[in-house]
Amino acid sequence: MKDWIVKYWLETLFGAVVLVLGALYKRLAMKFKKQLSDQKALKNGMLALLRSEIIRCHDKYMQKRWIPIYALESVLALYCSYEALGGNGTVTKLVEDLKTLPNSEKEGNVYDIIRNT
């Protein structure tokens, strides 16, 4: 009788442990999947914001036909983050356009000055 109780109670206990572990695994897998989904959404949102700001700066300074050095540094920092997050090359041309602009209304472009020295 004692053997029978030990045998079936251990099987029942083992079954319950496996059931609990399976439920915990499923819960953790769902949580992990949601976190991955959230991270992807945040990344895509950040890329959209960076792209939008670079485009806004491009439109603003191309219309002015010059860009202050601090604004160019800001755009380059935005672009660096954009590339690091895996942004595609569609805004590369916009950044290159901004690099060719003079850095004041009266002076030439810093990149041209550096290349000539």
DSSP annotation string for 11-39: HHHHHHHHHHHHHHHHHHHHHHHHHHHHH
Total domain count, the chain: 1
Nearest to 61 by CA among 76, 80, 39: 76
28-76 pLDDT per residue, tens: 999 999 999 999 999 999 999 999 999 999 999 999 999 999 999 999 9
Q: Dig out the tokens for 84 from the structure.
A: 């690091």
Distance between CA atoms of residues 101 and 91, nearest Å: 16
Does the predicted model carry a pTM greater than 0.75?
A: no
CB crowding 58-86: b at 16 or more within 10 Å, else e: beebeeeeebeeebbeebeebbeebeeee
Residue 90 lies in domain: 2-116
